[in-house]
Amino acid sequence: MHAQIDSPKPAGKHFDQIVIVMMENEGTDEALADPYIVSLIRRSAWFSNYHAITHPSFPNYLAIVAGSTFGLDSDHRSPPLKGPTIVDRLEEKNLTWKSYAEDYPGGCYLGSAAGAGRLTPTAAPTELYVRKHVPLLAFASIQNNPARCGRVVAASQFMRDARAGKLPNYSFYTPNMFNDGHDTSLEASSTWLKGFVRNLESTIAVHQRTLVVITWDEGGGRDNRVLALLVGTVVNPGRYAVPLTHYSLLRTIEENFGLSTVGAGDRKASSFPESVWR
Q: What is the CATH number of domain 21-273?
A: 3.40.720.10
29 touches 50 (CB < 8 A): no
Helices 156-163 and 186-201, packing angle to 10 deg: 30
User: Where do the H-state alpha helices sit in the chain?
Assistant: 28-31, 35-41, 57-66, 86-92, 140-143, 146-149, 156-163, 186-201, 246-257, 264-268
**Phi, psi torsion values for 180, nearest 5 degrees:** -85, -5
Please state, in angstroms and as integers, the Cα–Cα distance from residue 52 to each residue in 98, 132, 177, following that order: 23, 16, 19
- Full-model pTM: 0.95
In three-state secondary structure terms, 245 is: strand
Return d(Cα 139, Cα 30) in angstroms, integer. Answer: 33
Q: What is the pLDDT along the chain (278 residues), one digit of tens a residue?
A: 444 545 555 679 999 999 999 999 999 999 999 999 999 999 999 999 999 999 999 999 999 999 999 999 999 877 899 999 999 999 999 999 999 999 999 999 999 999 999 999 999 999 999 999 999 999 999 999 999 999 999 999 999 999 999 999 999 999 999 999 999 999 999 999 999 999 999 887 666 899 999 999 999 888 999 999 999 999 999 999 999 999 999 999 999 999 999 999 999 999 999 999 99
